[in-house]
Chain A
Amino acid sequence: NAGVTQTPKFRILKIGQSMTLQCTQDMNHNYMYWYRQDPGMGLKLIYYSVGAGITDKGEVPNGYNVSRSTTEDFPLRLELAAPSQTSVYFCAIQGPNTGELFFGEGSRLTVL
């Protein structure tokens, strides 16, 4: 998973709290993604970005926001945490020519 760094690795939130999951890459790739993974449900796309200053919604964007002010960073913000947002969150970058995806180690979030 070299190239994509996610922080924090674990976090417990109370309902209604806010937080930001950080994702940083050192590969200078334009395309970046945020996924959530729930048991037995596969990965669902939350938001993605095709370059600095450009973001777009994926399949499950409600309750989340993103920004992409630099090529390196793609933070994911939860404004009012809900139990339904308990999940493992993965950030990924995409190789420019082949479209191959490379993932970070993930951030495990629990909302109580």
Chain B
Amino acid sequence: KQEVTQIPAALSVPEGENLVLNCSFTDSAIYNLQWFRQDPGKGLTSLLLIQSSQREQTSGRLNASLDKSSGRSTLYIAASQPGDSATYLCAVRGAGFQKLVFGTGTRLLVSP
């Protein structure tokens, strides 16, 4: 059974720092991996989707990498801003287009 872990559960950084959020998964036979952002009281917003054949995806200041062999993905946020404060979740879809399994998220606070 696929398990997805996100460490740390919470992270506090000053504005301007570059930071890395981690996502680990136990079964490397995946179809894709998706990173989401969730603001308090809101739904999940899709940030990046990495297919199993890809190593990374980029969108603006965000870069997500995927290493299937080690069961890890990282979300890199460059030059963090207070507006980046939110909870970031990763979700893994198993091979064969199985359903998504979610991590519990990393709560990020970027201070001015």
Contacts and interface: CB of A to CB of B under 8 A. Distances in A.
Nearest to A39: B104
A100 B44 CA distance: 12
- Chain A contact patch, size range: 20 to 34
Contacts, number: 52
- Chain B contact patch, size range: 20 to 34
Given A41-B104, A106-B43, A98 B49 contact: yes
Given A1-B45, A90-B43, A101-B46, A42 B105 contact: yes
Given A41-B104, A100-B34, A106 B42 contact: yes
B51 interface: yes
Interface residue SS majority, chain B: strand
B68 interface: no
B110 interface: no
B44 A90 contact: yes
B31 A99 contact: yes
Contacts of A45: 99-100
Interface of A: 1, 4, 33, 40-43, 45, 48, 58, 90, 92, 98-106, 108
